[in-house]
Amino acid sequence: MAASLLGRRGQSVLVVEKGNFGGTCVNFGCVPSIFLHDLTLLLSRGKEQDRHFGIVRDQKTANYVERVMELRGRLSEAGEELVRSSGADIMKGEATIQNDFVVIGGVRVGYERLILASGSTPDLSLKKEEAVYNEDQLAELDSVPETMIVVGGGYAGVEISQFYAKLGSRVTLLTEGEVVGNLGSRLSHLVREALSWDGVEVKEHVHVSAVKAKEVLTNLGSFKAQIVLLAAGRKPNLPSGINVLGVQLSPKGVIVDNHMRTSNPRVWAAGDIISKDFHRNAHSAMAEAIVASSNIVGRDLAVSYDAIPDLIYTDPEIGVVGDSKTVETWAEFPFRANTRAIISGFTEGYVKIGFDSFGRVVYGEAVGQWIEEFLNLLSILVKFRVKKEDLSNLTLLHPSLGESIISAVRSLSNEDVERPLRRI
C-alpha cells in the first residue's frame, strides 16, 4: 500500500519482500480464514437455507485446500502488480539494515527514508515439537482431523476452532483467559455460546506449559488429539540490523506515534511490526501505511484508531467499532425485525449503537451474517460523530440490513419502525 502510493506520487521506491506479496492477510490470515468461514457457513447452514428457499439438491463437497491456495496466489500476484504499476521497484529477498543502507542478497541499496512493514509471525514459545501446527499453516491441513486441540482464545483461535468443528472435528479450545476477552465479558459469552453450539469444548483460564505434536500439558492435566494447532498470539518480524537505526522498541514491536513516526526522523513503521495496544488486522495496517507514506511527502495525517472496525469471522459474525466507555445512550434493533433479514432467512443477530452525552455516535456493534458492509457503515458514523437527530432523518434503501441502524435510532423516540408481529 505505502509503496504504490509513494510511487504514484513520484517518489523513487524500492520494496523488499522475502515471501509472497500480500503479507499475513493474503497468505495466512484474512483470505484463508474468510474462505473457510464462508465454506463452513454454506455447509452448515445449507440445508436450513435450502428449506427456506425451497431448494432440493444433493450434498456437495469442496476441495478447500486447493481453492485457498489458488486464491492466495491470485491475490498475491495482484498485490505485486499494483506495486509494479505504480513505478516502484521490487527486490525479492531478506533485507539487512546497515546504517544508511539495506543489503539484499549481497546488494547494497541506499535510502533517504525507510518504512518498516515486515509484519509478524506466530508466537511459538510454547511449541516443544516440530509437528505442532500454527495459525499460519491453516491451509496446509489437507484433511479434517477426527480430533483437534486449538491453543489460544483470540480471534484466530475461535475462528479456527469453529471452522473445524463445523467440518466434523471434535475440537477442544484452550485459552489462558476468556475467549476474545478484549471484547468484554458480554461478547465473550456470546462467542463461547456460538462455539459450544457447534460442539467446541471451551476450556478457559488454562495455563499451558508445553505444546507437543499430539498433546498439550496444562494446569488442568494433559489434553490429547490427532492435531494440535497453536494460535496463541503473534510477534513482530524485526528486520536484521534494526538496532543500528536507534528506533525505540518494546516487547510488542517498534514504538510509533499516531503519525507512524519512530524515534528516528528518517524511519516510519506500519502494520504488525509496530507496538500498539490495538487488535492488529489488515485494514489497520493499510491505514497506517497510508498515513506513513502521506507524511513522508509532507502531509501531517494521523490514524484514527477509534474508527477502525474489527470483525470476528465466527457464526454468527461479531463486529465492533469505536469506544463503548464513552457511551451515554444505547440504541438497539434485532435483525429478526428487519425485512431484508427475513427475506434472506438470516434473522439471527442485532445492531447496537452507542451515543455520547452530546448525542453523537461513538460506538457501533453488529452480530449476524454477512455484516462486513454493515460494519463499514457504522465505522463512517463513528468516524464523523454523526448526531442522533441526523441519523433519525436519514433515509436508506428498503429493504436492506443497513436500515436497522435507522430503526434502532427511531426506537429511542418511539417512532414507527419495522417490528414483527411474532418471532420469526
pLDDT above 70: residue 46? no
Burial grade of 249 (CB within 10 A; 0-12, 13-18, 19 or more): middle
- pLDDT confidence band for 32 (50 / 70 / 90): low
Question: What pLDDT does 34 receive?
Answer: 67
Question: 9 to each of 3, 4, 265, how far by Cα in Å?
Answer: 10, 9, 20
The per-residue pLDDT for range 144-177, each reduced to its tens digit, is 899 999 999 999 999 999 989 988 899 999 999 9
The per-residue pLDDT for range 238-267, each reduced to its tens digit, is 999 999 999 999 999 999 999 999 999 999
Q: Which domains does the chain have, with CATH numbers?
A: 2-116+236-305 (3.50.50.60), 133-232 (3.50.50.60), 316-412 (3.30.390.30)
pLDDT above 90: residue 279? no
CA dihedral for 50, 55, 59, 60, sign (positive or negative): negative
Asked if 271 and 117 count as a contact pair (C-beta separation under 8 A), the reply is: yes
How far is residue 88's CA from residue 421's CA, in Å, rounded to a whole number?
A: 59
Rounded percentage of the chain residues whose pLDDT exceeds 90: 57
How far is residue 420's CA from residue 278's CA, in Å, rounded to a whole number?
A: 39
Question: What pLDDT does 29 receive?
Answer: 60
Contacts (Cβ under 8 Å, ≥6 apart) of 44: 166, 198, 315
The per-residue pLDDT for range 345-385, each reduced to its tens digit, is 888 999 999 999 999 999 999 999 889 888 999 999 999 99
Question: What pLDDT does 417 receive?
Answer: 46
How far is residue 56's CA from residue 361's CA, in Å, rounded to a whole number?
A: 45
- Size (the chain), residues: 424
pLDDT above 90: residue 8? no
pLDDT above 80: residue 19? no
